[in-house]
Structure 1
Amino acid sequence: MPFWKKAMLVLLGTAAVFIWSVALEGQRDGLLKVYFLDVGQGDAIFIETPSGNQMLIDGGPTDMILSRLGDVMPYYDTSIDIVALTHPQDDHLTGLIPVLKKYDVEMFIHPGAVGTSASYRELERVMGGLDMKNVEAAAGMRIHLDDEVYMDIYAPYEKGRESDNLNEIMLIGKLHFRDASLILTGDAEKIDEINLASSNADLESDVLKVSHHGSKNSSTALFLERVSPQLAIISSGVNRYGHPHADAIERLRAAGAEVRRTDQEGTITLVSDGNAFLVVRQ
């Protein structure tokens, strides 16, 4: 067989494989998927709705986020609908810099706090060259991700709030899919948890993303009583802070939550049919 015919057959075969892979990826299973990505000592949460809409919350401390996204996104997918930053500290924001460079992002959501690090200044520089919606979040906002999937924002409590402690200006929200729910707390500190627990916010959730990587002062008893989680996810890695702290883990278990940790398991995947969340074994 002439060389050009062999080359043409190889090309056609490759094209067929690509087309079928795209078609199979496009088949939806009706499930909400939430990936707590293993990015070391930091946070990165990737959400995919039943219709395929995507949201990334935080990017972790390094460009490791790109390989982790490659594990859960189709190789041909070059866009993410929404990227959110819970607060401008490096273990949450640094990975968003390469994400914004690689993926087309429609909307960027943030709490309005201004960071001071070199990574934050680079993030601002990169964002300045992009054509995307820039949204400052505040309590009372609702973000619609799909027909039956949305996120209610509980904090920050007001736009334009200033503080020397960046953990006090935190994007906190609750993700809903029919009867299933998950509360995302970023690096919320004790005072934030107490304020939320003392409010009339609907905190009860199936799953809790544990505040501040399971720090000693996170996961206060009052807050856990209001949330009443069945499952608690701790995102952490090798660190010098003692995260997650034994006291926080004890309080979580005393509240009836099963505790799962990215530093022990790697990326943790949850799926929901709208009734409950289940952990998918890797």
Structure 2
Amino acid sequence: MYYSRYKRLFPGDVLVCIEELNIQDNTVLFDFIDSNEYTTFTDLINRAFDLTKPSMVLLNNYQGRPIQENTIYSIKPETIQSWSEQVNNSEDLNSFLIGYIIDVSNAGSEIFDSSVSLNDFLDWRLNYYMNGYGDSSAIPFHRKGKLSVTVRDVGQGNWNEINFNDETKVVYDAGAPMNASKPAVLNIIGNRNVLYKRAKPILILSHWDKDHYHSLLGMSNVDLQNNFSAFVCRDRVPNLTSRILFGRLNSSLGPSNTYSIPADVRRARGGATFFRNLNSLNNQIIIYNAQYHKNRNISGIALSVKSKKESIILSGDAHYEQVSRDILAHLNYRHRNNLVVPHHGGKAGTYVYKIPPLVRVKNAIISVGANRYGHPNTSYIGALHLAGFSIHQTNIAQNDITIYL
């Protein structure tokens, strides 16, 4: 049912976006589609409404019906009211991301009632301020100097740096694990506030998933202003947390330095979405934009970085098929190719990596930490080995991994 009709019929229901369903742990993480829904939630559980504190809600001991991630569901007000005595507040959780933990083991009925579709009008209303900022063709990606890429050891998250003469000029994601405490996130940030203040890199967010932007929540507005010269992201934000973060970055850097890129229109149904390069294939750093899909992983922004002798693909959480067909195919010159493995070595579609005739593979780097998802997947590890990659994992190295190009 569309939002406008649903709200007319059930004005008191709260609409939330499912960020993660963990079947093994029986947990659900959700956020609110906007501040209005969050206000209703805080009223129902008798808590203060405060947008300076995290809003995501973690449900423990969830035994309800299967639900889909990246989908909007409604929750009845009486269900939320029943949680008022079981809520652990953000002050107790010490998290930049999660504001509430609720034990729902005694839930007497289904928690998530109906899925709700945002119609075009509401999509525009929620995201209008993200459109039209900056011209992506003007992003200064072509630079000179000794080139390297660092895959940071951030645990179960993603944070990559593109360096020229050992100075970071592009940051691709700045994530941290979902359950990382505030001190843990600040430790991951470490000395980057100092290094970035001098280097002023461009910040590129592959997609709006929590493990790709969690560390940004641990930076103050002053840090964001000092650390980055520009911000590149997907234009549609899925939830309140990402909406607030976008607003902070846009305010800190200014609209002229904010490049919110709409997904390409997808006309065919089924299969993986396609990437399209947004700048010249002659550049050292090439930015790729995916088509729209409900699954954020395959509808994000990817990069390739190349020198005369080596290249590396920063894939975010894209699928191998996309990377092989739309990015690797552009790198058919005599050199060695490196890959930052998609999705922490986890689910990324069927393994397809068609190596062009002139290319030899070198390193496959996996950014991964302790997790309950089975990352990295052994079948992908085996396929990468068979392809000739030397595999390196941040959780085994217990350190950042730098590839010199």
Q: What is the TM-score with the length of structure 1 in the denominator? A: 0.70
Q: Once the 2 structures are TM-superposed, how far is the Cα of residue 82 of structure 1 from its aligned partner?
A: 0.2
Alignment of 1:1-282 (within 5 A): 31-50=146-165, 52=167, 54-61=169-176, 64=184, 66-71=186-191, 77=197, 80-99=200-219, 101=221, 102-103=223-224, 104=226, 105-112=228-235, 114-132=236-254, 133-137=257-261, 139-142=276-279, 150-156=284-290, 161-193=291-323, 195-196=325-326, 200-202=329-331, 205-218=336-349, 220=351, 222-226=352-356, 228-272=360-404, 277=405
State the one-letter code of the partner of 1:206: N
Q: Once the 2 structures are TM-superposed, how far is the Cα of residue 96 of structure 1 from its aligned partner?
A: 2.2
State the one-letter code of the partner of 2:338: V
CA–CA distance in 2 between the matches of 1:262 and 1:53? 19
C-alpha contact (below 8 Å) 1:90/1:119 kept by paired residues = no
CA–CA distance in 1 between the matches of 2:229 and 2:149? 20
Q: List per-residue Cα deviations over 1:12-51 (Å, max 9, x = no partner).
A: xxxxxxxxxxxxxxxxxx6323221111111001222127
Q: Once the 2 structures are TM-superposed, how far is the Cα of residue 163 of structure 1 from its aligned partner?
A: 2.2
RMSD, aligned α-carbons? 3.2
Partner of 1:24: none
Taking CA–CA contacts closer than 8 Å with sequence separation of 6 or more, which of the two structures ends up with the larger relative contact order? 1
SS at match of 2:361: coil
CA–CA distance in 2 between the matches of 1:135 and 1:163? 20
C-alpha contact (below 8 Å) 1:228/1:255 kept by paired residues = no
Distance 1:70 1:238, change over 3 A: same
Q: Once the 2 structures are TM-superposed, how far is the Cα of residue 116 of structure 1 from its aligned partner?
A: 2.2
SS at match of 2:381: helix
State the one-letter code of the partner of 1:181: S
Q: Which segment is superposed worse, 60-69 or 184-193? A: 60-69
SS at match of 1:94: helix
CA–CA distance in 2 between the matches of 1:117 and 1:57? 21
Q: Once the 2 structures are TM-superposed, how far is the Cα of residue 224 of structure 1 from its aligned partner?
A: 5.0
Q: Once the 2 structures are TM-superposed, how far is the Cα of residue 203 of structure 1 from its aligned partner?
A: 6.3
SS at match of 2:331: coil
C-alpha contact (below 8 Å) 2:367/2:395 kept by paired residues = yes
Q: Once the 2 structures are TM-superposed, how far is the Cα of residue 95 of structure 1 from its aligned partner?
A: 1.6
Q: List per-residue Cα deviations over 1:215-261 (Å, max 9, x = no partner).
A: 144571x3253475210000011112111010010000000000000
Distance 1:38 1:200, change over 3 A: closer
State the one-letter code of the partner of 2:249: M
C-alpha contact (below 8 Å) 1:36/1:268 kept by paired residues = yes
Unaligned runs of 5+ in 2: 1-144, 265-275
CA–CA distance in 1 between the matches of 2:185 and 2:237? 20
State the one-letter code of the partner of 1:155: N
Unaligned runs of 5+ in 1: 1-29, 278-282
Partner of 1:8: none
CA–CA distance in 1 between the matches of 2:337 and 2:350? 15
Distance 1:168 1:216, change over 3 A: closer
CA–CA distance in 2 between the matches of 1:35 and 1:219? 27
Identity of aligned residues (%): 24
Bigger radius of gyration among the two: 2
C-alpha contact (below 8 Å) 2:317/2:348 kept by paired residues = no
C-alpha contact (below 8 Å) 1:97/1:122 kept by paired residues = no
Q: Once the 2 structures are TM-superposed, how far is the Cα of residue 92 of structure 1 from its aligned partner?
A: 0.4
Partner of 2:125: none
Q: What is the TM-score with the length of structure 2 in the denominator? A: 0.51
